[in-house]
Homo-oligomer: A and B are copies of this chain.
Amino acid sequence: MPDPIRPTDDDARALARDLAAGARLGALGVLDPAGGHPAVSRVAVGWAGGPVLLISSLSHHTRALRADPRASLLVGEPGPRGDPLNQPRLTLFCAAGFVARDSDDHGTLREMWLARHPKAKIYIDFADFAFVRLAVRSASLNGGFGKAYELTPADLGL
């Protein structure tokens, strides 16, 4: 079986950084608290020195991350043309950390979030919403057919 992983180069690093820092949307994978089954859901994504989520305590993924912080985030939305499997995407392997609402960091993230997601102003201050910072442990870049890379946080500038 050939090794499908290519050596990481600067083009791969630049593509991964663009995908990570530019994402507005992603698919979040968590572990179900009852038994550890994987669960994937759509989330809005921000960036502030690393990936950020804004999630509701009413949601399944929030309960899951409170019980086990291990998370995976797929970013890189397919464009309207071409084969989606030949378009670049990035999987981040992360540990989730909840940001306290009365922290300075909450204020910083709130500003960043509203700049990227203006429509979130409707619910951003609801009591059940919290910011989550994702600490990236490693990443898999798929740049299209035959273009797979395994990246470190340093490759992403983290």
How would residues 60 to 80 of chain A score, 1 for a CB under 8 Å from any chain B CB and 0 otherwise? 100000000011111011101
Q: Are B44 and A93 in contact (CB under 8 A)?
A: no
Q: Are B29 and A60 in contact (CB under 8 A)?
A: no
Q: Give the contact-size bracket for chain A.
A: 35 or more
Q: Are B41 and A38 in contact (CB under 8 A)?
A: no
A40→B25 CA distance, assembly (Å) = 14
Q: Are A73 and B42 in contact (CB under 8 A)?
A: no
Does A152 sit at the interface, judged by CB under 8 A?
no
Residues of A within 8 A of B (CB): 1-2, 4, 24-25, 27-32, 36-42, 44, 57-60, 70-74, 76-78, 80, 83-85, 89, 91, 93, 119, 128, 140, 142
